[in-house]
Amino acid sequence: MIDYDNFSKRLKIIMQNNEISAAQFAEILNVPRSSISHLLSGRNKPSLEFVLKVLKNFAGVELYWLLNGDGTYLKPDK
């Protein structure tokens, strides 16, 4: 189950760790800036397409951490 209440916090962590703004994040994901703004404010919930774009463009991000905060931010090295 997705932890929607804290999803925006995890997006902010991704942006901070990559030293990018919300506008740059939107550009990287090829989504409108308003989509990022709405997600960060909690107004909208993330779509599956959005989650997949994050995982594709930030390959180190762990899926379960992104969705519900479980585990670690980055995938463990194999």
Model pLDDT for residues 23-58, shown as the tens digit of each residue: 999 999 999 999 999 999 999 999 999 999 999 999
Dihedrals phi, psi of 74, to nearest 5 degrees = -105, 150
Cα dihedral across residues 9, 18, 73, 27: positive or negative: positive
CB 25 within 8 A of CB 15: yes
User: Rounded distance, CA 58 to CA 34, Å?
Assistant: 20
Q: What percent of the chain has pLDDT over 90?
A: 82
pLDDT at 76: 76
Return the SS3 of 59. Answer: coil
pTM across the whole model: 0.92
Q: How confident is the model at residue 78 (pLDDT cuts 50, 70, 90)?
A: very low
76 or 10, greater pLDDT: 10
* CA–CA dist 71, 20 (Å, integer): 23
